[in-house]
Amino acid sequence: MNAFELVYCALMSDIIDDKIKLTQQLYILNINHKLYYKTTHKIHKISNPGRLKKPEIVRFQSVLSPADG
């Protein structure tokens, strides 16, 4: 499997599950020495990588003890 293609797919995806699966696939292929590092494809510049959706910020709420109350 071509390392550059897998990395490109992982970087461009904006779905966290896809990023995790592709990263795990890269890791397993690397351990088994099955990654191919020569490319026959044109390497594209990554101008806008996949960004995950921003999580909602949870506001901190202080908890008062009965003694403070």
Per residue in 24-65, pLDDT (tens digit) is 999 999 999 998 888 766 766 777 777 766 666 667 676 666
Residues 6 or more apart whose CB falls under 8 angstroms from that of 50 comprise 11, 12, 13, 14, 15, 19
CA geometry: angle 46, 53, 5, nearest 5 deg: 30
Task: Please state the pTM of the whole predicted model.
Answer: 0.58
Category of 50 on φ-ψ map: left (φ > 0), alpha (ψ -120 to 50) or beta = beta
pLDDT greater than 80 at residue 10: yes
Neighbours of 34 (CB within 10 A): 10
The phi and psi torsions of 2 (rounded to 5 degrees) equal -80, 120
